[in-house]
Amino acid sequence: MKHDLAGIASRFELGGAFIEAEPYGSGHINDTYSARVKTPAGEKRYILQRINTNVFREPEHLMENIGRVTNHLRAKLLAAGGDPDRETLTLLPADDGKNHAVIDENYWRAYRFIEGARTYDLVENLSHVYHAAHAFGTFQKHLSDLPGGRLHETIPHFHNTRKRFDAFQEALQRDVKNRAAACKAEIDFALQREADASVLVDLLAAGKTPERITHNDTKFNNVMIDDATGRGVCVIDLDTVMPGLPMYDFGDSVRTGAATAKEDETDLSKCGIGLDMFERLAHGYLDAAREFLLPVEIGHMAFSAKLITFTIGLRFLTDHLAGDTYFKIHRENHNLDRCRTQWAMVADMETKADQMEAIIAKYAQPQKPV
Ligand code: ADP
Ligand code: GN1
Ligand code: MG
């Protein structure tokens, strides 16, 4: 759909005249644009984003969460002598003072553009993965004392693998596009692993592991890597920041940050996880989070990498069976291709489970600073 991006930009206090905007990034959910604006201090870029309200049913709640989270991070960064304009997202106010604008029933927001940094869909440099995981761990740590009560659940039961499994079985049973027959192997792969689905939800329900504030979408391309230092300068994509389990954040950083191939690679011989990348992720995440994680959380980190990969693979397969209504697709069978890469990674993690556990045990112990 074409949007009047000049009109949308004019609703925000961007401090200058709109020049142009173009689609940006490779996210599967929102519509993201980079906009150029002429200001007295020179040209500036902003991110304009349309929230996908098919996915996020309560956008006002979501924006309230993001406002609280970014304000808290900003205060922490200022107190620690950091640069809050680069190290957390900054929402630009709309003309009515809100942190978003509703235009033709669409919810839009504007962020300051983080310059001198970029995101990567696939890891190009081993040291980036240490710093990405460190940034996600630090993010959790900084939010551990967020005042003001529990955050809204922007997508209820988001990482509840048991419920995701039920949704998969329902889509399979309905098979609205008659696709099940052509992906029997992928379906069987899922059915064989049903027992894994309840492990973490059961621990949480039994009060054996605590709920914390977590990011819940720690893809490698949801952290901006500084061009000059290679550090994870800013954690972005805050729509799913809500109560959750920290080990899912570590797990999802492994799913993409230790992947040896793209999420939609069709040559499955390339897909799997690199233990060298896994080790850097474990090191970076634990250097930031070791001080607050409980033994039960550290003890499930390796398992959660496999579990979250299984969960996202299930969601891709479910969406394929349901007719591609959730994730953006760019070619036929795109969600099935994505599911296949996730299954290849799950299978690889099954064979590497002992090595992964040994790596976690090593970095659970204090390390020399990097
Ligand atoms: P989605 O939810 O669709 O994944 P994201 O919020 O992750 O959307 O944004 C998509 C991409 O846009 C990111 O991967 C990143 O490259 C870029 N991006 C998002 N926010 C910023 C920002 N404030 N500054 C610079 N680039 C950004
Ligand atoms: C979506 O928004 P994006 O592209 O960062 C999805 C994640 C999946 C991911 C798979 C809100 O993330 O849960 O893990 O695709 N986000 C939502 O690549 O569903
Ligand atoms: Mg994203």
Which atom in ligand 1 lies closest to the alpha carbon of residue 29? 3
For the CA of 113, the nearest atom of ligand 1:
24
Task: Confirm or reject: Cβ of 219 under 6 Å from ligand 2.
Answer: yes
Query: Within 6 Å (CB) of ligand 1, which residues are found?
Result: 24-25, 27, 29-30, 32, 47, 89, 111, 113-114, 119, 221-222, 236-237
131 and 275 assigned to the same domain: yes
Instruction: Report, as an integer, the average pLDDT of 54-58.
Output: 98
Question: Ligand 2 mean position to 170 CA, how many Å?
Answer: 21
Write down the pLDDT at residue 62: 98
Q: Are residues 135 and 19 in the same domain?
A: no
The pLDDT tens digits of the residues spanning 298-329 come to 999 999 999 999 999 999 999 999 999 999 99
Give me the pLDDT at residue 212, please. 98
The pLDDT score that the predictor gives to residue 139 is 98
Q: What is the pLDDT of residues 247-277, one digit of tens each?
A: 999 999 999 999 999 999 999 999 999 999 9
Residue 165 falls inside a structural domain: yes
Report the predicted TM-score, pTM, of the whole model to 2 decimal places: 0.97
Residue 369 has pLDDT above 90, yes or no: no
> Which of 88, 115, 142 corresponds to the end of one domain?
115
Identify the domain containing residue 281 by its residue range.
126-363
Does the pLDDT of residue 1 top 80, yes or no? no
Q: Which pLDDT value is given to residue 370? A: 86
Q: Are 290 and 246 in contact (CB under 8 A)?
A: no
Tens digits of residue pLDDT in 65-113: 999 999 999 999 999 999 999 999 999 999 999 999 999 999 999 999 9
Q: Per-residue pLDDT averaged across 196-205, rounded?
A: 98
Nearest CA to ligand 2 atom 17: 29
CATH number at residue 86: 3.30.200.20
What pLDDT shows up at residue 350? 98
- Give the pLDDT confidence score for residue 157 in this predicted structure: 98
Q: Which of 115, 135, 166 is the last residue of a domain?
A: 115
Structurally, the chain folds into a number of domains equal to: 2
**What is the per-residue pLDDT for 129?**
98
Between CA 191 and CA 367 the distance in angstroms is 40
* pLDDT mean over 197-215: 98
Kindly report, residue by residue over 107-136, the tens digit of the pLDDT: 999 999 999 999 999 999 999 999 999 999
